[in-house]
Chains A and B, each alone.
Chain A
Amino acid sequence: MDKSCKQPDNKTRSLGTKIFYLFTVFIIVIYVSFSAFFVYYQSQMLKEHLAEEGRQLANLLADNLKLGVFAENDDLLRGPVESILEYDETILVQAFNNEGKQLISLAKKGAQIEQTEMSELEKQRSILESIRIKYAPLQLSGRESMEFWAPVKSGERFTEENLYYEYTVSPPKEYIIGFVRVVLTTSILKASLKQVLINSTFIPSLFIIPGWFIAYYIVIRITRPLKRLTQGVKAIGTDETFVNVQVETKDEIGRLATAFNEMALSLKNRDTENKELEEQLRQAQKMEAVGTLAGGIAHDFNNIISVIRGYGRMLQKNKDFEETTRNYVEQIVSSSNRAAALTRRLLTFGRKQIIDPKPVNINNVILNVETMLKRLVPENVQFILNLSETELIVTADTTHMEQVIMNLVSNSRDAMPEGGNITITTRLIAPEGPVFRPVSIDRDSKYAFISIEDTGTGIDKVIKEKIFDPFFTTKDVGEGSGLGLSIVYGIIKQHQGLVDVESTPGQGTKFNIFLPTNTSQVEDNDHIASILPNGTETILIAEDDEYVRALVSSVLKQNGYKVIEATDGNSAVAEFLANRDKVSLMLIDVFMPKKKGTAVFKEIRETRPDIKAIFISGHSTSHIINQFEFTEKISFLSKPILPDELLHKVRELLDKQ
């Protein structure tokens, strides 16, 4: 248990502490080594110095005692001996003649003379013999003292030859005439050594302690950037607000801090992007949910509107009503039209509407949404329409085109928080000049050109490249889904058109749309309504909504058709099988209980591949569009159903081969 507790302590110890500990250990090792060496060196020096002093004293005494020893005269001996004894270390001075007889012996008062195991006489004999043989001084070291012996030498006596004259035939001879002994105490040496030990212990401390503080400061300086880095890493890990680590040096730590800052910035950006994407996804999911909700409402609501509008239209055609009643009917139809428009907008918002391309005048599409667009923009934004005088007929789904215009205008509005101008321009152009960069443009056709231009903040090149990407947005989270321009792009592509953007940062943005023109005439609903086609064929109606079914049945019957009704998918199949040879056309609601309209149609077509059908639905889903190609035998009618439209569609399909 204890072990497991201690181990992390060592591991978690900071780098600075480790360096400081290492430095401390290093200093202690150096300090101890130096002190030991210094003390040892000093002790050797002092010992050598004492030995040298002893040798010199002995030699000096031997030289000075020549006459004294020669004459064996106490007066002559005493002076030099006493002078040697005056030295602090000297505790005993003795002189002997050549026979070993002690001539003088003076000891310092109170001095303790070290005794050896050998008797003094034996020792003396041994020493004197050694000196005689070696003819040189002798040194003996004891625990408490050091003693030095030196021979007293005398020159050769004069002969008659050299008594008068100084000359030498051979090297002058010297003879030992006696010995001196000088004993020095080592107590002073030991006291000096003790002082050296104290000095070598305490004096370095005076330097080492400030050195420690300096080292501590240096370590702190070195490790401070690392601590900051650690704090930075922790801040990133704990999602705290990260502040760039200060880069103080250009060394490895400095480079590490720089790299770390770059990494942190990169992580931060990535995190921000992730958050934005999350928010966009959430927004998209919300929009999807709202769209689903709107689509669901619209489905049921369309059924109701279909009935009201259908019967309303039928009442309009009744000439028997008096003026007042006719006005009431008009109000009902008008209101139901408005309700139908509302439903359509809901579907537009939820992007659940089906493509229903028809030849339309783009100018009219723009004019139809003008009021709504003006409501979209605030008062400080001026809305300018610059529409071409010539009609710009294109095959397009009006609802989709309206969505395109609305999305682009909304975008321009958001780019001008301080106000400005939004200009919508349309004109007919031929694909010439640099405007038509895309190669997909057919140079032999003419195109309707629509531009929505603002005087807003503009966009830079990087954003421009991503502007049509799904979920790309420069707006704050919650303000935009990032889908607006991608929907625009998708719709225009669906219509074989092209969308482009020009922008100068600070000056504004211009979206250019090119749609291939159509030479057909725009259908006039009112005109269609006035001439209602009829027939006698048998039509199977598969509709779960009772009122809608009754309306459709009623309209068809009134115009000569025979009607077989089915309330759900299964009954629709059953009815068809029962009347398979009679049924010329099927009106199938896409969403029905028990079996969906598409499944019903698939099943029936297996029996009769030539069967014609019109799908009816309040909204479209992609799988419906993708499942079938709308050929001569299959068509689509969106709710709310107008009687005139229904009759035209039915007749049109029945008449097709």
Chain B
Amino acid sequence: MYTKIINTLLFNSALMLLKVLVVLLIILRPSFASAADVVIVQSISIKPYNDVLKGFKDTCKCSVEQIVLSEPSRANLKRKIQKANPDLVLTIGMDAYRKSRAVTSLPVIYTMILAPIKTISNSADTTGVSMVISAEKQLNIIKKVLPDTKEIGLLFDPARSGKFIRRAITAAKTEGIELIAKEVNASKDVPDATMFMKDTIDAFWVIPDLTVITPETFKFMLLCSFQNYIPLISFSDKYVEMGALLSLNIDEYDIGRQAGEMARKFFSGTSLKQIQKVDARNAKITINKTTAEKLGIPIKSETLKNARIIEK
């Protein structure tokens, strides 16, 4: 009888002690660094960048820690990266890349950068996916959407887009298009250059060149497009919404996937030096139907079916 009671008391006491130990372990656990494989540094929290993040996560299947620079705690970027102690850094946006590169020597995969500029290309532990869609792809789509196009006008800053233009000229010939590319060295030359070529082209192709595109120059080109019934082909929905006929956009999610694939290769033991920098492999089409109607340009229903349509 007494033995039974003593056993019960002992059992209960042991149970109680166990519970206390568990609680103490939880409370007094040491602050270990989070074991994230990848720290993702994002310039700003906007949907296209979040799509990149999503594509990356879906593909990489690795543990990540996200840092958004536009948020108040961005000042602690270096400490945060150190704290996360990752193997790899993924940057989304130019600002994210520059700042991350400045504070860490860890391998970096960049995304959402306009062009692989020299600093990036020379860095050993850096690879990534640019926002550039290959000229061939773009011209191929243009030809499909606007099959009657023979001469396409284009303005470019050789310092920024010379390499792209060289490839584009070659690709155009393949598509049977004459690409009339005019160099501009300063933004203020854009109106004159635009006016110069307006009578000889079937379409005007605006490439993501910061010298050529300013708020004023784009408005002028748009105005010129309307006045001369020349369709304007751009590289972002933003300009289609402003009145451009068509844009060939990057697929942000797919860029994320491309970066994810690179990360996987890295984690599987491949050095980043060995992983080639690439352009965006997919293109999305956005068409302004109202502009098409105003300019009297017929768009095939098949094209419309695969495109984002803006009507305003």
Residues in A lying within 8 Å of B, measured CB to CB: 66-67, 70-73, 75-76, 154-161, 163-167, 169
Contact = CB atoms under 8 A, between A and B. Distances in A.
B188 interface: yes
A154 B215 contact: yes
A160 B236 contact: no
8 contacts: A71-B191, A154-B214, A157-B187, A158-B210, A158-B213, A163-B114, A163-B210, A163-B236
A76 B238 contact: no
Contacts of A154: 214-216
Contacts of A155: 215-216
Contacts of A72: 188
Contacts of A160: 93-94, 113-114, 210
Given A73-B192, A154-B215, A161 B187 contact: no
A157 B236 contact: no
Interface string B204-239: 000010100111110110000000000000011010
A165 B48 contact: yes
Contacts of B46: 165, 167
Interface of B: 43-44, 46, 48, 70, 93-95, 113-114, 131, 187-192, 195, 208, 210, 213-217, 219-220, 235-236, 238, 241, 250
A161 B94 CA distance: 7
Nearest to B223: A67
Contacts of B235: 164
B297 to A, nearest CB: 24
A65 B48 CA distance: 34
A73 B214 CA distance: 16
Contacts of B236: 163-165
A68 to B, nearest CB: 8
Given A157-B210, A159-B210, 4 more contacts: A157-B187, A157-B215, A160-B113, A164-B48
Contacts of A163: 114, 208, 210, 213, 236
Nearest to B188: A71
Contacts of B189: 71
Contact of B187 (A70, A167, A169): A70
Contacts of A67: 191, 216-217, 219-220
A71 B224 CA distance: 15
Contacts of A157: 187, 210, 214-215
Nearest to B189: A71
A161 B195 CA distance: 28
Nearest to B247: A164
Contact of A164 (B70, B195, B238): B238
Contacts of B195: 75
Nearest to B93: A161
A76 B188 CA distance: 11
B219 A165 contact: no
A167 B217 CA distance: 19
Contacts of B216: 66-67, 70-71, 154-155
B160 to A, nearest CB: 11
Contacts of A169: 44, 70
Nearest to A177: B216
A158 B214 contact: yes
Nearest to B210: A158
A167 to B, nearest CB: 5
A76 B215 CA distance: 16
Nearest to A167: B46
B43 A161 contact: yes
A155 B250 CA distance: 25
Most chain B CB within 10 A, of A70, A75, A76, A169, is at A70
B72 to A, nearest CB: 12
Nearest to A154: B216
